[in-house]
A and B are shown apart, each in its own frame.
Chain A
């Protein structure tokens, strides 16, 4: 397992931009890429069906479309991102309880401060482990 998550620059910008666009609600989406190297090269912004500043639900139809697109590109869905509009970039008890896949990377984008804060976690059996996020130059 690669130590950490790599984000291409376009993925980073699209992800953070989508989270700002979603305000005042939480923004969410999926990350596609190479699971072996944990490199995210495609961002799939999705609607937050919960339309809430406190919780998010990834649109299931958008998830299906993203899954198919990633497969067609020879990629996989690596994980999910969502924003915390007024709290730290750290998984909430709700996030941990509903984390569906221990192989996924759970990316949090905190918009609490002036600058966005992006952090990534693995969640296994309810245990949270932060991992490095590497931002590629391209």
Chain B
């Protein structure tokens, strides 16, 4: 499946400054793996060493956060847009 991946500012330097890249995969896990294969600078920023989605990123298929779907097993189809954004959190203490 060919999908478009929208990258956050923080990852764009690893993809030659591109905001959007095309890649392939039938699940989010495969898409992220293909991204890292093509842009090795993203290694460790999307998926942890234990194979979980990194807690500091949010990944969406079209409008849906994959954490509320099947996480890395979430299926993608041709023409889907995958968006990656940093998780934004903090606190006063």
B83 located at the interface, meaning its Cβ lies under 8 Å from any Cβ of chain A in the complex: yes
A63–B92 CB distance below 8 A: no
Whether, in the assembled complex, A98 has its beta carbon less than 8 Å from a beta carbon of chain B, the answer is yes
How many A-B Cβ pairs are below 8 Å?
85
- Number of interface residues, chain A, beta carbon within 8 A: 35
B90 touches A55 (CB 8 A): yes
Residue on B nearest A82 in the bound complex, by CB: B90
How many B residues face the partner with a CB closer than 8 A?
A: 19
Taking a contact as CB atoms under 8 Å apart, the answer to whether A92 and B90 are in contact is: yes
A residues with a Cβ closer than 8 A to B are 26, 28, 30, 50, 52-58, 60-61, 63-64, 67, 76, 80, 82-87, 91-92, 94-95, 97-103
Q: List 14 A-B contacts (CB under 8 A).
A: A50-B91, A52-B91, A54-B92, A54-B93, A55-B90, A55-B92, A60-B58, A60-B60, A63-B58, A63-B88, A64-B83, A80-B88, A82-B90, A98-B87
Residues of B within 8 A of A (CB): 8-10, 56, 58, 60, 63, 65, 67, 83, 85-93
